[in-house]
A and B are shown apart, each in its own frame.
Chain A
Amino acid sequence: EAGVAQSPRYKIIEKRQSVAFWCNPISGHATLYWYQQILGQGPKLLIQFQNNGVVDDSQLPKDRFSAERLKGVDSTLKIQPAKLEDSAVYLCASSYNSGTEETQYFGPGTRLLVL
Chain B
Amino acid sequence: SQQGEEDPQALSIQEGENATMNCSYKTSINNLQWYRQNSGRGLVHLILIRSNEREKHSGRLRVTLDTSKKSSSLLITASRAADTASYFCAGTSGSRLTFGEGTQLTVNP
A, B in one complex = yes
Interface positions of A (Cβ within 8 A of B): 4, 31, 40-45, 48, 55-56, 91, 93, 98-109, 111
Majority-rule SS of B interface residues: strand
Report whether A41 and B42 are in contact in the complex, using a CB–CB cutoff of 8 Å.
no
Complex Cα distance, B97 from A43, in Å, reads 9
Residue-wise, chain B 28-42 has the 8 Å CB interface mask toward A (1 for contact) of: 001101010000111
Jot down 5 A-B pairs with beta carbons below 8 A, ordered by A: A41-B2, A41-B102, A42-B2, A43-B43, A48-B95
**In the assembled complex, B13 has its CB within 8 A of some CB on chain A:** no
Q: In the complex, A103 Cα to B36 Cα: how many Å?
A: 13
> B43 to nearest A CB, angstroms?
4
CA distance A113 to B85 in the complex (A): 23
Question: Is B92 on the interface with A (CB-CB < 8 A)?
Answer: yes
Q: Which residues on the A side are within 8 Å of B69 (C-beta)?
A: none
Q: Is the beta-carbon distance between A106 and B98 smaller than 8 angstroms?
A: no
Given contacts A56-B96, A99-B95, A104-B97, contact A42 B42 (CB under 8 A): no
Contacts of B92 in A (CB 8 A): 100-101
